[in-house]
Amino acid sequence: MTESARHTRGYSLLIAIAIAIAGLCYSSWLLEFVLPIDTDPVNDFLSELDAEGKPYREVFGTADKLVGLLLIPAALGGLLVFRRRRLTTIGWVALLCFGASTIADTLFPLSDCDPGTNACGSGLFPQLHQPHALTSTLAVTSIAVAAFAFSAAAFRYRRWRILREFGVAVLVLGSAATIWMMVADNLSGSYALGIAQRIQVGAMSLWLLALAAAVLVEGRELTTRQ
């Protein structure tokens, strides 16, 4: 193995590890079933776990910050280490935006509000009332773009079998949960939005783990050809 090949394999391993740890950190919401937290997983949104004044806000906020701090350099590394193609470039840039948006989520936590007022974010543009709603929207949109871009690349370039199979299955699951949330949020009554969001976020974490595995395989294949 050449010196260049060893460097490529080493960089790809670091990128894969960073993405995998980020995926695990993004599933920190599972701690709500372990820590003494008074939440209703069926109806409560995950943003309430690190909202202002919550007892374990630092735990969940730190986990989200780690996600961003890991994914930003990982995305930059992906752009530098691997061959640049249109779809993968879009994917890496979107992943970087997801990392930045996740950090912004922690900097603008959900604030306490009265559900009967516009301060809670009701109305046509809730983002104007709650900055956290905007950062969360940017985060979900960014990782959705990344997932679709990498999935399309996996089929177009006939690479990353794990993204073509497991990754797509997770993407479909997350998309179904997102549609569930978008439709139910505009209907009167309770439609278990908390469960829908937990499925959505859980799918994001699983997809990040799939991407980490794909990056690891890509690094090995690149060094084999060198």
Residues ≥6 apart with Cβ < 8 Å to 80:
none
| Residue 108 pLDDT > 90 | no
Establish if 67 belongs to a structural domain.
Answer: yes
- Mean pLDDT for 167-181 is 94
Q: Bigger pLDDT: 196 or 225?
A: 196
Q: What single letter denotes the amino acid at residue 163?
A: L
158: left (phi over 0), alpha (psi -120 to 50) or beta: left
Q: Bigger pLDDT: 26 or 1?
A: 26
Establish if 123 belongs to a structural domain.
Answer: no
Establish if 121 belongs to a structural domain.
Answer: no
Torsion of CA 96, 101, 103, 109, to 10 degrees: -170
CA distance 226 to 215: 17
Domains in the chain: how many in total?
1
CA distance 141 to 13: 27
| Residue 78 pLDDT > 60 | yes
| Residue 166 pLDDT > 90 | yes
Establish if 122 belongs to a structural domain.
Answer: no
Given this model, what pLDDT does residue 4 score? 66
Domain that holds residue 21: 3-110+128-225
- Copy the structure tokens of residue 3: 């010196």
Given this model, what pLDDT does residue 95 score? 98
Establish if 118 belongs to a structural domain.
Answer: no
